[in-house]
Amino acid sequence: MSSGGGSQFADHLLELLAPLGPVAAKRFFGGIGILQGPILFAMIMDETLYFRVDAESRPRYEGAGSRPFSYATKTGTRTIHGFFTVPESLLDEPDEICDWARTAIAVAGAVKARRRPRKRRGG
């Protein structure tokens, strides 16, 4: 478990997620990405934790009052519905946060598998 992200919050999160196996934090677009192997399943932006969601898992987050990731652009706000805030209460519930993280890892893995592999040049 490595913390290349450099945040106390990320370090704490990695401790909470330790039962999931090797999980790492890496710098990611002005925040910190949380990965299990090559799978980015969570991110921390402005000290807020977001997990990867899909149509099936999203209602669980919405029911808990979570909101999608959004950021300001020159022309307004852009919302990314593939990542939702993790309820803060889970940070005090190691078993629960690991349960939600397992789902986020499965969702992120499925998204990664659906992406087409890049074609090699010159072949």
Residue 3 is predicted with a pLDDT of 46
Residue 29 is predicted with a pLDDT of 84
Q: Is residue 6 part of a domain?
A: yes
Q: Is residue 121 part of a domain?
A: no
Decide which of 25 and 114 is more confident. 25
Residue 62 is predicted with a pLDDT of 97
Residue 6 is predicted with a pLDDT of 57
The mean pLDDT of 96-117, rounded to a whole number, is 91
**pLDDT at residue 5 greater than cutoff 90:** no
Q: Is residue 120 part of a domain?
A: no
Q: What is the number of structural domains in the chain? A: 1
Q: Is residue 119 part of a domain?
A: no
**Domain span holding position 11:** 2-114
CATH number of domain containing 44: 3.30.1460.30
The percent of residues above 70 in pLDDT, for the chain, comes to 89
Residue 75 is predicted with a pLDDT of 94
Confidence of residue 54 (pLDDT cuts 50, 70, 90): very high
One-letter amino acid of 123: G
In which order are the strands placed within the sheet that holds 2-3?
2-3, 24-28, 31-36, 39-45, 48-52, 76-85, 68-73
- Three-state SS for 16-28 is HCHHHCCCEEEEE
Q: Is residue 123 part of a domain?
A: no
